[in-house]
Amino acid sequence: MRTSIEALKRELATIRTGHATPALIEHIKVEYAGALLPLNQIAGISAPEARLLVIQPWDSSNIHSIDKAILKSDLGLNPINDGSVIRLNVPPLSEERRQELMKVVRRRIEEGRIAIRNLRREAMDELKRLEKNKDISQDEHKRALDQLQKLTDSFIADAEQIGQAKEVELAEV
């Protein structure tokens, strides 16, 4: 469940807000030496200003493939290539785009909750199997189910909290 929460945080970090953050683009796959690699493995990414990202490729021959990969991404950012670094201006979001991104955030939160509930179901099935095989008593089974439900509720609450924080971040102008 903790892994599901971490994955949710990583996914939400890739959703663009009005602020420039390296997490926004570090997952973009770039073709390098015949393989697709994440951008953060072939270039340094920094955010010197609130609305600017600077990409410094470690090998300057990759600059055009990085440029192309950013244009192909669904982020709607236009790279400015000066031959040695790529600059990305992160424009403020329109209200319409904010609403679309809010829907994406809510969908990702729901996917996170579903993943957590699926893990709960798998654990419940395992507990039933242990009780059936007489490895644990009925009392132990009941206690374990109660603990499992409390744990599930706390992780779902964490997912909700992370989602609300992202929505607040998106709502900022």
Pick the CATH number of 19-89 from 3.40.50.620, 2.40.160.40, 3.30.1360.40, 3.40.190.10: 3.30.1360.40
What are the pLDDT digits (tens) for 63-105? Answer: 888 888 888 876 777 888 888 889 988 877 778 878 888 888 8
Confidence of residue 112 (pLDDT cuts 50, 70, 90): very high
Q: What is the pLDDT at residue 18?
A: 66
Residues of the chain with CATH 1.10.132.20: 95-171
CATH architecture classification, 95-171: Orthogonal Bundle (1.10)
Predicted structure pTM score:
0.66
Give the integer Cα–Cα distance in Å for 109 and 147: 23
Report the residue count for the chain.
173
Checking DSSP bridges between strand 79-81 and strand 52-57, what pairing results, if any? Answer: unpaired
End-to-end CA distance of the chain: 33
Q: What is the pLDDT at residue 16?
A: 66
What are the pLDDT digits (tens) for 50-61? Answer: 788 899 988 888
Is the dihedral angle over the CA atoms 117, 121, 122, 127 positive or is it negative?
positive
Q: Is 145 exposed, middle or buried (0-12, 13-18, 19+ CB in 10 A)?
A: middle
